[in-house]
Every structure is written in structure tokens, then in C-alpha cells.
Homo-oligomer: A and B are copies of this chain.
């Protein structure tokens, strides 16, 4: 095995962080890497579940004092200063014979920012905030948490399955399936990542989807939010699949006609992130009101021609007003492409 550079170690810590995707909310995803005094990888760890040990504890467990002599701990977020549901990570690290701790992001709470670092520093350990090309990836690794903290708002992701020519269904409504099975499996991972799936009433009544997490490796009952001013969904509870796949307290029917208010209501109910899955009118409303933070597009390498475009519900007067995506990442999933970006 090779010695790891700080960038390599931080990248591993970020990858670790994502392993906690399904169960840490409303905590941030955090990953941690321990290098020995020569720079060789000793261990990794991540925050696995809300209420369970933090990433630093997971990474350090089982390592001897001898192994930790002069070691370097790399963690995606500043170690916590205070006791919460778990003991203070900063205090734990301060008791170790470490040479160095590098954290990716400072605690977003200005009232405690830097305090975790200070506790460790006072123990004679060198502490640095990471400054480098992975800074943006570090932000994204806990973006729902940062958004929640900074704006006291529910984080909104939008998920679309489209053909290369931007269609989500034929004119006759047929949409199963444009994307392949690998993309659909990935969508179930995303359903587990976000606290809830959000759809419009038409999607529920016309397509009658289950909207639950169906993934061989993830046992989780997610939550469902339906925007329905009419009350039609509640009149059909016996026929609709969402009521078969979810317990009642995991289904939220919102009648507000104001999207921003609806998001506030969700935040108050403890739903810190939603993935909007349609239909077209709902997509357009969120985009028009500038309420989307992240876009997930699963793009199938197919052409459909005439059909339903998921952005048909909004228009711009000139190209200067186009919606610019940022920090775009693409990766193949089966024959499709998963493109994700910030808005």
C-alpha cells in the first residue's frame, strides 16, 4: 500500500461520508480517515446512523495507542466540541497521541465554530482546516445539513428520468420505462438519502406509485409528501399504493397552494430534505419559484420525439434568463447517465 497524500485521504473520507446516506439525517454525513505517522492508511469510518457514534469514533475504534502515536486524523467536518447524543469527538481526539488533525469544513454554527479544533489544539496536536480542491465536494457531502442550518429550510432535490431529447413520457403518458433498471435502483438509493419523496396529486392519482424504498441493501420506510389542494388523495386511501406501502404517520398531504409555506410546514414536521419526483407541473413550480437546490437527471440514451417535457411549465423571455446548473457531475449507470448538479 502507498502513502496517501492529504487529497487522497480526504477523498476517501468523503467517500466514507456518503456511506451514511440513508440513516444519518438530520445529522450531516461525515467520514473519517486515520493515517499512521508515516502516512499509511490505518482505518476509515463514517457516521452510520443518527444517534450512533460519530465518524471519528468509528475510525479510531480498535486502534491501539501505539498505532495512533504520531497519527494524522482526517475528517470531513470539524470534530464536535460538545456532548450531544454522543460524547464530544474533540475531547476524545485530544486524549490521543496524535500528531495532526485535518478537518474539511469548519462547524457551520458560528457560535461553536472552531471550538472543536481549539480543544484538540490545546492538547498539543496540530489542527488544520483543509484548504484545497475538494472543498466544494466537502460542502456537497453534507449539503442538506448545511442548507438546513443556514436557511432553516427543507432541502429540495429534483429527480427526473428523461430521454436524451428531454422527454419524461410520451404524449399518451407512457413513461415506463425510459431509463434502465440500474438507474431505477439508484433512484431507490436517493429515496433513502432524502427524508421524503414529494409528488403532486396527479402523479398519485394517475400513476398510483408506491414511492417507497425498494432496494436489496436498504431497509427503510421513507416518508411521502403529496401536494393536494383538492383533498382527492385522502378520498382514495383504500386504492392508493402509497397507503399500502407507508404507515399513516409517514404520509404528509399538504393543501397549501404556496410552495414555500409547504416547505416550512415540512421543516416543522422534521422533514429536512425532499426529493421531488413529479409530475411536470410540480417540477415547473419548484423551478419557477427558485426552490430547488439539487437536480438529479437520469438520462437514457434514447430519442423519443414528441412527448412530455418536464420543463414545459416554465418559460424565459431570453436566453440570458436560462437556469444555469453548477458543479455538474456525471456518471454512467447501466446504459444511462446520472447527471447531478446544483441549481
Contacts and interface: CB of A to CB of B under 8 A. Distances in A.
Interface string A302-323: 1111110111111110110011
A174 B305 contact: no
A259 interface: no
A301 interface: yes
Taking the full assembly, how many copies of this chain does it contain? 2
B301 A311 contact: no
A164 B339 contact: yes
Contact of A310 (B165, B174, B297): B165
A92 interface: no
A330 to B, nearest CB: 7
B305 A165 contact: no
A313 B165 CA distance: 12
A306 B301 contact: no
Interface string A256-287: 00000000000000000000000000001001
Given A305-B284, A324-B302, A319 B170 contact: yes
A328 interface: yes
Contacts of A29: none
Given A162-B166, A330-B330, A339-B164, A306 B315 contact: yes
B306 A312 contact: yes
Contacts of A223: none
Contact of A341 (B301, B309, B313, B319): B301
A241 to B, nearest CB: 22
A307 B310 CA distance: 12
B316 A301 contact: no
A4 to B, nearest CB: 23
Contacts of A339: 164, 337
B164 A167 contact: no
A166 B300 CA distance: 12
A171 interface: yes
A178 interface: yes
Contacts of A301: 324-326, 328, 341
B325 A316 contact: no
Contact of A304 (B302, B322, B326): B322
A303 B319 contact: no
A302 B314 contact: no
A177 B305 contact: no
A250 interface: no
6 contacts: A163-B322, A165-B166, A166-B309, A175-B319, A304-B311, A306-B312
Given A163-B166, A301-B325, A306-B314, 18 more contacts: A162-B166, A164-B297, A164-B339, A165-B166, A165-B309, A167-B309, A167-B311, A170-B319, A174-B319, A301-B328, A302-B325, A304-B311, A304-B323, A305-B311, A305-B316, A309-B309, A328-B335, A330-B330
* Across the A-B interface, the 7 shortest Cβ-Cβ residue pairs: A166-B166, A306-B315, A301-B325, A303-B323, A305-B314, A165-B311, A165-B166
